[in-house]
Amino acid sequence: MSKQYTLMDHLQGQGITRRGFLKFCSITATMLALPPSLIPQIAKALESAKRPSVIWLSFQECTGCTESITRSHAPTIESLIFDFISLDYHHTLQAASGHAAEAAREQAMKDNEDQYILVVDGSIPTGNPGFSTIAGIDNKQMLIDTAKHAAAIVAVGTCATYGGLPHADPNPTNAVAVSDIIKDKPIINVPGCPPIPIVMTGVLAHFLTFGTIPDLDDLGRPKMFYGNSIHDRCYRRPFYEKGLFAETFDDEGAKAGWCLFKLGCKGPTTYNACATAKWNEGTSFPIEAGAPCIGCSQPDFWDNGGFYNALSQPTISIGETAAAAIAAGAVASVAASAIHKSAKAKAAKKHHTVTTDDME
């Protein structure tokens, strides 16, 4: 990587004019979820922006986050790697393997000391170092070693940000998030299972453009992508306001595109950009396809009760238990309220399985 080679040099080398550069800046504003009024500042920043070295580490993960980022359309993964960043280490995407791959990581760390971005996907097992290793190095040690001279860390996916699926009850590997181990570096959490492709590339583009980390919320997420709830930005929100809900997945309400709240939609408590950035090159997002949001960008979403239970409903059948309570002489509403609270607490502690019956 050329240390002095700026993005503008790169674009000019492709014969792109100043007008084309300004167009590039306006598109970058969209990519960064920034208002068009900030285009002049973006242009000024990009004139001297240099391509940062990126080291991508994968720990206890399913490669879904990498699968997702390779579907990025703005920028495309090719453009991201060749125009925006210098991707110096990534298990799945790099050509080198074995010792050559590890040598590439060590060289990138040496050449870009205190300047490279470390991207991590997957949680880190702390129960036994042998649970997950790379080139004989356990995940925790590799994270500590590589984070030492990183300028910033981007934790992508719910596993790296909050522990994710490996962290779900009973958490057999004692999996933890990046932020549980690294305390002395700025960490940008980009959760999602997987995260939206252009949210991942947008965070990298923000670092490239401004050389700083974006504003973060209390869970370490960039506000520009996680500042609104799915519910607030949902195109079905007007149906919620009118009290028009689909009751089953195939009733008239579902066919008419009514709100999916009663079918378990976690949109009201989930913060992400699905409703605006969308998936598959901006085609749609789960709610647009008729599926309720499962809240995958929130901590412990696997353990928060059934995916198809409404947020306002207890996680066990109130009807049967309340009837039993009446028979016993208790007041049904009081019993239901108590059951609701205890069920929620239990669900948070105990993984709640979903069967096909829940979907009917």
Partner 1 sequence: MNSAVKVCTHQNAIPILHEIKHALLKLAENNQATTIDLSSLPMTSQDTEQLLSTLGKGEVNVTLTSAGESTFWETQFPGVWVTQHQPHFSSKQLTYIEICLFPSLLMAQQADITDGLNRLQEIMS
Q: Which is nearer to partner 1, 89 or 239 (CB)?
A: 239
19 near partner 1 (CB under 8 A): yes
Q: Which residue among 63, 70, 94, 276 contacts partner 1 (CB under 8 A)? A: 276
β-partners of residue 116 are 150
74 near partner 1 (CB under 8 A): yes
48 near partner 1 (CB under 8 A): no
CA–CA–CA angle 249, 272, 289 (5° rounding): 25
Q: Which is nearer to partner 1, 29 or 118 (CB)?
A: 29
Alpha helices, DSSP H only, in the chain? Answer: 7-13, 18-31, 39-47, 64-69, 77-79, 98-111, 139-147, 157-162, 164-167, 178-181, 197-210, 223-226, 237-242, 252-255, 274-277, 318-327, 332-349
- Of 176-184, 207-215, 270-278, 344-352, the segment contacting partner 1 by CB under 8 A is 270-278
Phi and psi angles of residue 257, each rounded to the nearest 5 degrees, phi first: 80, 30
Q: Which pair of tokens denotes residue 65?
A: 């986050």
**Min separation Cβ 119 and partner 1, Å:** 20
Q: Which residue among 129, 172, 238, 319 contacts partner 1 (CB under 8 A)? A: 238
Q: Which residue among 29, 45, 109, 190 contacts partner 1 (CB under 8 A)? A: 29
Q: Which residue among 50, 206, 233, 266 contacts partner 1 (CB under 8 A)? A: 233
β-partners of residue 154 are 119, 188
115 near partner 1 (CB under 8 A): no
Binding mask 78-97 for partner 1 (x = CB under 8 A): -x---x--------------
* Contacts (Cβ under 8 Å, ≥6 apart) of 83: 7, 10, 11, 51, 75
Q: Which pair of tokens denotes residue 218?
A: 């209390």
Tell me how far apart the 2 most distant CA atoms of the chain are, in Å.
82
136 near partner 1 (CB under 8 A): no
- Of 152-160, 228-236, 262-270, 324-332, the segment contacting partner 1 by CB under 8 A is 228-236
Question: According to CB under 8 A, which residues from 282 to 341 bind partner 1?
Answer: 282, 284, 288
Q: In a 10 Å sphere around its CB, with 0-12 CB exposed, 13-18 middle and 19+ buried, how is residue 85 labelled?
A: buried
**Min separation Cβ 200 and partner 1, Å:** 15
d(CA 156, CA 136): 23
- Of 136-144, 173-181, 235-243, 245-253, the segment contacting partner 1 by CB under 8 A is 235-243
Length of the chain: 360
In one-letter notation, the amino acid at residue 53 is S
Q: How many residues bind partner 1 (CB under 8 A)?
A: 36
β-partners of residue 284 are 279
Q: Which is nearer to partner 1, 3 or 18 (CB)?
A: 18
17 near partner 1 (CB under 8 A): yes
172 near partner 1 (CB under 8 A): no
Q: Which is nearer to partner 1, 50 or 231 (CB)?
A: 231
β-partners of residue 71 are none
Interface with partner 1 (CB under 8 A)? 11, 16-24, 26-27, 29-30, 33, 35-37, 73-76, 79, 83, 233-235, 237-238, 275-277, 281-282, 284, 288
